[in-house]
Amino acid sequence: MAVGIFDSGLGGLTVLDAVTKRLPDVPFVYFGDNAHAPYGVRDADDVYNLTTAATERLWDAGCDLVILACNTASAAALRRMQESWVPEDKRVLGVFVPLIEALTERQWGDNSPPREVAVKHVALFATPATVASRAFQRELAFRAIGVDVEAQSCGGVVDAIEEGDEILAEALVRSHVDALQRKMPKPDAAVLGCTHYPIMEETFQDALGPDVKVYSQAELVAESLADYLERHPAMIGPGTDSLFLTTGDPSRVSAKATRFLRRKIEFQPA
């Protein structure tokens, strides 16, 4: 009854932490493609090939449902995977839709036509690949009209977080917020469009100011997954063990992950 969680590196651990708290009886298999991280600077075909390989490994681990807890993979690979690659008895879901449903105050699974919503000016902070894909704007357009999105490519932030360099990460976040605000001085809301960024959520909020509502993904994805599994219980796969898999050096990744989540994490070779 395992569910797979995939990320290019450690950022998806923020999602894993939230979903394990929300669904304590479900085993989760986490796959970090640390050998090829970060994805945010790769082209769409590269991201697609790496993401499909990781997804197949999670299927082998007994996960019929895989969550792409990587915004770059969700943006650059998910639609292509769903349209032409995922078999009928499997599911691959991304992290954008729960975020957009919360932003637009629509219920989970609401498929009614797009309509005007309260928020009008949205700042999107994401990796270069996610920004280039315009996947967030595309998904938003399915649900809302009249929303202005200003996207800021946040180069360097993921690397700084993965290396544990909080001083550099904070400086980069403040620089990217400043660049965004030169284009959109007064956003109503800000979307942290990378699962690494919740680690820096307080810095984003401080730099943006108290009047900007900051949307982070982990808890939203956890609630959406709980709702999905309630409606589709057959999608809980046959796997029974919680695992941490990595394409990188397991001992090095384990040490980083332990610092990242502030609890003992032990990765195995993928």
pLDDT at residue 50, as a whole number: 98
Amino acid at 22: R
The yes-or-no answer on residue 154 being catalytic is: no
Within this chain, domains 2-94+218-269 and 97-215 share the same CATH topology: yes
Mean pLDDT by 10 residues, the chain (270 residues): 92 95 95 93 95 97 96 94 95 92 80 90 94 93 94 94 92 98 97 93 97 92 93 88 96 93 93
- In the sheet with 121-126, reading across from the earlier edge strand, the strands are 148-153, 121-126, 189-192, 213-215
Task: State the Cα–Cα distance between residues 133 and 146, nearest whole angstrom.
Answer: 20
Q: What is the 3-state secondary structure (H, E, C) of 43-106?
A: CHHHHHHHHHHHHHHHHHCCEEEEEECCHHHHHHCHHHHHHHCCCCCCEEECCHHHHHHHHCCC
pLDDT at residue 108, as a whole number: 62
Phi first, then psi: what are they for 154, rounded to 5°? -105, 70
Task: State the Cα–Cα distance between residues 193 and 94, nearest whole angstrom.
Answer: 12
Q: Which of 184, 194, 222, 236 is catalytic?
A: 194
Amino acid at 123: A
pLDDT at residue 60, as a whole number: 95
Q: Which of 18, 50, 58, 70 is catalytic?
A: 70
The position carrying tokens 């384990």 is 254
Do residues 125 and 193 lie in contact, with contact meaning Cβ atoms separated by under 8 Å?
yes
The CATH number of domain 97-215 is 3.40.50.1860: yes
pLDDT digits (tens, 9 = 90+) for 89-112: 999 999 988 889 889 988 766 778
The token duo for 46 is 């590269």
Do residues 73 and 6 lie in contact, with contact meaning Cβ atoms separated by under 8 Å?
yes
Amino acid at 167: I
Residue 114 is given by DSSP the state P
pLDDT at residue 236, as a whole number: 86
pLDDT at residue 251, as a whole number: 97
Name beta bridge partners: 246: 32, 269
The residue extents of the domains of the chain are: 2-94+218-269, 97-215
pLDDT at residue 41, as a whole number: 87
Task: Kindly tell me the sign of the dihedral angle through the C-alpha atoms of 78, 81, 84, 90.
Answer: negative
Task: State the Cα–Cα distance between residues 120 and 257, nearest whole angstrom.
Answer: 37
pLDDT digits (tens, 9 = 90+) for 170-217: 999 999 999 999 999 999 999 999 999 999 999 999 999 999 999 988
Phi first, then psi: what are they for 174, rounded to 5°? -65, -35
Provide CATH code, domain 2-94+218-269. 3.40.50.1860
Alpha-carbon separation of residue 240 from 6, 24, 67 (angstroms): 17, 13, 17
